[in-house]
Chain A
């Protein structure tokens, strides 16, 4: 079945550092890929998505590129801020919009220190 594997956290960085959170997936067919962010005590918010190979999703300075050859969707940001501290989830779906079942990775807790 489909699965998502993220790099283990927690990840702690200083403000303005470069961020990479690795995500790889296993799926049949051509899934859509997502990054969600969860701030403390809140539900999930969609951060970005990509629906086909070589697509790049971007939002709020974050970006991730759908790499079919390496089955990866790594999340990157050039200069993180304290407000980026949250848990980040990589996910996939058989539907481009994520309307059908979402399969989540285990989440990566990110802490940014001032």
Chain B
């Protein structure tokens, strides 16, 4: 149980386009989801906390107009990289927490999306 699915797993697109990444909790509802970014051979950096029905909370240094997060349902959060440029190329990973906010449940991670901007 507690499966988190990300789609697409890999995307290559031209500079200037916008890319949407989906994060779905397949067998549970999640009020809270997190979005991470992982640079090659580096650790995961938390980008934002996404709460269903409210605005995402972004970490310091993350451009909210660049990385749009929508969490419109209890099973789906989306991350849209707007006007993507080569420096946005990275591995993006989401995680979801079963249940309500502050449910004291562990985070379950998706398999990640590798974004390459040409």
A29 close to B (CB within 8 Å): no
Question: Which of B41, B42, B109 contacts A43, CB < 8 Å?
Answer: B109
A44 close to B (CB within 8 Å): yes
Decide if B104 touches A96 in the complex (CB within 8 Å): yes
Decide if A41 touches B111 in the complex (CB within 8 Å): yes
Specify which chain A residues have a CB less than 8 angstroms from the CB of B102 in the assembled complex: 99
Question: Which of A43, A46, A101 contacts B46, CB < 8 Å?
Answer: A101
Q: How close is A94's CB to chain B, nearest CB, in angstroms?
A: 12
Question: Which of B32, B43, B97 contacts A104, CB < 8 Å?
Answer: B43
Q: How close is B22's CB to chain A, nearest CB, in angstroms?
A: 14
Give Cα A41–Cα B38 distance, bound, in whole angstroms.
12
Decide if B97 touches A89 in the complex (CB within 8 Å): no
B6 close to A (CB within 8 Å): yes
Chain B interface residue count, CB cutoff 8 Å, equals 25
B17 close to A (CB within 8 Å): no
Specify which chain A residues have a CB less than 8 angstroms from the CB of B112 in the assembled complex: 41-43
Q: From known contacts A43-B4, A104-B44, infer whether A99 and B109 are also in contact, taking CB-CB under 8 Å.
A: no
A97 close to B (CB within 8 Å): yes
Residue on A with the closest CB to B99?
A: A99
Decide if A99 touches B97 in the complex (CB within 8 Å): yes
Question: Which of A41, A45, A96, A105 contacts B43, CB < 8 Å?
Answer: A105
Give Cα A41–Cα B93 distance, bound, in whole angstroms.
11
Can you list 30 A-B pairs with a CB-CB distance of less than 8 A? A41-B9, A41-B111, A41-B112, A41-B114, A42-B111, A43-B6, A43-B93, A43-B95, A43-B109, A43-B111, A44-B44, A44-B95, A44-B109, A45-B109, A89-B44, A96-B104, A97-B105, A97-B106, A99-B32, A99-B102, A99-B103, A99-B104, A99-B107, A101-B46, A101-B49, A102-B34, A102-B44, A102-B46, A105-B43, A107-B41
